[in-house]
Amino acid sequence: MQRKLPAKWVRTIKKHMDRLKASETFGDFLKLGVGKPEQLTGYGHIRYSLHVAANVRLILEPDADQNTVMICTEIEVEGIGDYHGRKENWYTSMGELTVYGTIIGVHGNRRASFYRDLEKQLLDIRHLASEGKALCICGDFNCSFGDNYYFTHAGRSSIIKCFQETGIRLITEKQTECIDHIAITEEFVCNAKVSVEEWNVDKRMSDHKGIAVEFT
């Protein structure tokens, strides 16, 4: 699954990075118009994309809000993404990864809409996996796996069966009181050391714990 970035992409990314470093503020960089900068919508933080190739973008996250973005001096490079249709492909040091963000059941798992969402999304996952893509499925599953905190038997068993049949590993399976999860194609994870981090464990900020996965 590993894939090197094309040399042309690497040269373009280096040019973008050099100009970012040379600019005193993010606003100064934007004024150059290099890489056709575009602010992305639908994210919790401000994000911009820079053109690298057709559908391929360098994703930047300024340490700022809408009022201070032009004078921002700290920018985090999120990575290289392929924005094509409804899915996002990310080019990582471990290879290309298609990210599938999800909420299974906007109103929880006690309504019929949960099962309609579940059926459609498992079909999506099976389809993407059948194309040989390395997948990362992440979001609100409305289902705990490490305990009986919040789940339905039918929902849990359907997800587990789908992941087993498509070679996907539920990284956060053993986390307790956890309904937000991260699952990744087993072959992509391979022999990497995996660690899981949680925050908001007291649930004072939200009734959901925050969760992240790191590969080393």
State the CB neighbour count (10 A cutoff) for residue 159.
24
Compute the radius of gyration of the chain from its Cα atoms: 19
The model's pTM is 0.72
Retrieve residue 145's tokens.
């796996």
Contact 133, 124 (CB under 8 A): no
pLDDT in tens, the chain (216 residues): 445 678 899 899 999 999 999 999 999 999 999 999 999 887 778 999 999 998 899 999 999 999 999 999 999 988 898 865 556 688 887 888 899 999 999 999 999 999 999 999 999 999 999 998 899 999 999 999 999 999 999 999 999 999 999 999 999 999 999 999 999 999 998 888 999 999 999 999 999 999 999 988
Sign for the CA dihedral angle at 32, 34, 40, 46 comes to negative
- DSSP-derived pairing of the beta strands 135-140 and 95-103: parallel
- DSSP-derived pairing of the beta strands 135-140 and 180-185: antiparallel
